[in-house]
Amino acid sequence: MDFFRLLSRGTKLDNSEAFAKNDKVVEDEDKITRSLDFFHTHSLPDPDVCEKKQKKKSEPESHEPVIPYRKSKITGPDVPHPITTFQDLANRFQVSESLISRIKFPAPTQIQSEAIPGFLHDRDILASAPTGSGKTLAYVLPIAHILQTQKQNTTNGIKALILVPTKELAVQVLEAFTILTRGSTTFKAKVLTKSLLARLTSETGAKAGDVLIATPLRLVRALAVLDFDSLRHLVLDEADKLFDHAFAPQTDDILAHLRGRTLQKTFLSATLPSSIETLALNLMTAPLRILISPGQAAATVTQKLTYAGSEAGKLLAIRQMLKTGELTPPVLIFVQSVERANALFHELVYDGVNVDVIHGERTETQRRAVVQRFKKAEVWVLICTDVLARGIDVHGVNLVINYDVPQSAQAYIHRIGRTGRAGKQGKAVTFFTKDDVENVKIVINVMKESGCVVEEWMMRLGKVDKKTKKQLKRKPVERDNISTQPRKRTRKNHSKEKTNGTELSAKEE
């Protein structure tokens, strides 16, 4: 059995000729099943931990993980000494052996080496590190240790508040706490869901837990009923997104509500534009500034640009990759809007591809179910908008396709950061057309900064000025419809076409 047959169910495409010229045929279906076993992460406390196998030509395969070294810049008054092993935490900070034993990887990554001692020294931290470098564990571990050592403190109320931009990321952070502190009854971590908010509002004595993980809009609605008297730690994960225009009003309201409290603040992201960095530093006291490969994509991701000519050319390129075995699952495909996500889903479903779609218009339950199905390899190709580009970790994603060129360098870095995680190798392909002349310059610049091979024609395009960057962020490129149907037929069938129970407009078709 080959990848094409597993990807496609009832497809009408003829792949016999393609495989006659291509050796990428896997006859043993069990090999494919085993290759997807990386989705089951029950033994790892943090998906962002870097673990890479090293193989030498003259020696048998080595199972010793190798943590890649990246350029770093650590500044601030009285910078704490980094840790070199997790056992250092027991020796220097009396972190319990039971907590350390649940960390199944051999050594801390650079961000963990620098940030964890800073956190335990009660320092404000502003940190930037590539996607997949272990930022989640860098604050989950010290919070867990601090709250466990305060067992005798029976003070009620929230002690640590973690603000994240998406519900999916909130669930992921909760999973990290759950795995790391499994069996412990010292403290409780909760996500601020609709049901929890309803209980806090209507039930007397309802509690939000010791660690509360929340998105900005929902937290703003709950500020009046939450007890922050015991709050000591504030974490903004994906800080640049939380200070961006979409979340800035809610983030400002939250920070204003917490003003006057003595808090240890930690702001993290893979991308920190200078404007956001300046804003964050103004909110901190004597911060520890940790920059590791700022503005760069993960070194484990192979980046490629593909000229597709037109929107129809993108669809043909996807189908060609499917026929030749290049679309090796699991695959993430990013598009710029909900309408385009539905339209591409509509096209690939008719090709018989095992595909699903996730975006902001699907309910929280639907989004969570889709992500779980993708993690379990029940869905092999997932189409999504940028809702999935921030912080979501799915082990073993082989390929990320930017069907539409992202509108900013930050969006590009976070998108392709869904592959090449935990030291594994990944690939990112970006389709572009004649309409993407300005956008593609942003991608080329990130490729250069990340050490990728940049062809001569890319160098001739030059850089994007600040004014153009702002315009690109505000207004996406106007694109033709995603469809290989003739225009007349598309208009004729307008009233009949549906995707996921939602009638498509002419644009979506």
Domains: count for the chain: 2
- pLDDT reported for residue 43: 41
- pLDDT reported for residue 69: 54
Same structural domain for residues 275 and 416? no
Q: What is the C-alpha separation between 416 and 303, in angstroms, rounded?
A: 8
Same structural domain for residues 431 and 302? yes
Same structural domain for residues 267 and 332? no
- Of residues 423 and 498, more confidently modeled: 423
Q: What does the pLDDT look like over 164-193, one tens digit per residue?
A: 998 889 999 999 999 888 867 788 999 999
What is the rounded average pLDDT of the residues 9-35? Answer: 40
What is the rounded average pLDDT of the residues 144-172? Answer: 86
Q: What is the CATH number of the domain that holds 130?
A: 3.40.50.300
Q: What is the C-alpha separation between 109 and 137, in angstroms, rounded?
A: 10
Note whether residue 63 is domain-resident: no
- pLDDT reported for residue 391: 57
Nearest residue to 335 via CA among 206, 431, 453: 431
Question: Which residue, of 292, 320, 353, is where some domain finishes?
Answer: 292
Same structural domain for residues 303 and 264? no
Question: Which residue, of 262, 292, 322, is where some domain finishes?
Answer: 292
Whole-angstrom distance between the N-terminal and C-terminal Cα of the chain? 34
Q: What is the C-alpha separation between 347 and 290, in angstroms, rounded?
A: 44
Same structural domain for residues 121 and 233? yes
Residue 397's φ and ψ, nearest 5 degrees, are: -60, 120
Computed over every residue of the chain, the mean pLDDT equals 79
Nearest residue to 191 via CA among 179, 206, 176, 173: 173
What is the rounded average pLDDT of the residues 133-148? Answer: 92
Note whether residue 48 is domain-resident: no
Note whether residue 267 is domain-resident: yes
Residues of the domain holding 284: 72-292
Same structural domain for residues 258 and 337? no
- pLDDT reported for residue 484: 61
Give the helix/strand (H/E) hosting 236: strand 233-237
Q: What does the pLDDT look like over 261-278, one tens digit per residue?
A: 999 999 999 888 888 899
Q: pLDDT grade, residue 418 (50/70/90)?
A: confident
Same structural domain for residues 313 and 238? no
Same structural domain for residues 340 and 251? no
What is the rounded average pLDDT of the residues 147-165? Answer: 83
- pLDDT reported for residue 453: 78
Q: What is the C-alpha separation between 115 and 82, in angstroms, rounded?
A: 8
- pLDDT reported for residue 283: 93
Same structural domain for residues 137 and 225? yes
Does the pLDDT of residue 505 top 50, yes or no?
Answer: no
274 near 268, Cβ under 8 Å?
no
- pLDDT reported for residue 298: 72
Same structural domain for residues 304 and 288? no
Q: What is the C-alpha separation between 362 and 358, in angstroms, rounded?
A: 7
Does the pLDDT of residue 2 top 60, yes or no?
Answer: no
Q: What is the C-alpha separation between 41 and 313, in angstroms, rounded?
A: 37
- pLDDT reported for residue 275: 86
In 329-459, which ranges are E strands? 331-334, 355-358, 381-384, 399-402, 426-433
Q: What is the C-alpha separation between 215 and 192, in angstroms, rounded?
A: 8
Note whether residue 386 is domain-resident: yes
Note whether residue 25 is domain-resident: no
Percent of the chain with pLDDT over 70: 78
C-alpha distances (whole Å) from 379 to each of 121, 308, 371, 373, 376 are 44, 26, 9, 6, 8
C-alpha distances (whole Å) from 286 to each of 120, 282, 382 are 15, 10, 43
Other CB atoms within a 10 A radius of the CB of residue 456 amount to 6
Q: Which amino acid is at 133?
A: S
Q: pLDDT grade, residue 196 (50/70/90)?
A: very high
Question: Which residue, of 255, 273, 292, is where some domain finishes?
Answer: 292
> Which residue in the block uniquely carries the two structure tokens 């419809």?
481
- 3-state SS of 103-168 is CCCCCCCHHHHHHHHHHHCCCCEEEECCCCCCHHHHHHHHHHHHHHHCCCCCCCCCCEEEECCCHH
Note whether residue 287 is domain-resident: yes
Note whether residue 29 is domain-resident: no
The structure's pTM equals 0.70
Same structural domain for residues 283 and 426? no
Same structural domain for residues 280 and 367? no
Question: Residue 165 is encoded by which pair of tokens?
Answer: 């931009």
Does the pLDDT of residue 110 top 70, yes or no?
Answer: yes
Q: What does the pLDDT look like over 268-314, one tens digit per residue?
A: 998 888 888 999 999 999 999 999 876 667 777 889 999 998 888 99
In 256-320, which ranges are E strands? 264-269, 288-292, 301-309
- Of the CA atoms within 13 Å of residue 447, those in its CB half-sphere come to 20
Note whether residue 428 is domain-resident: yes
Q: What does the pLDDT look like over 309-341, one tens digit per residue?
A: 888 899 999 999 988 888 888 999 999 999 999
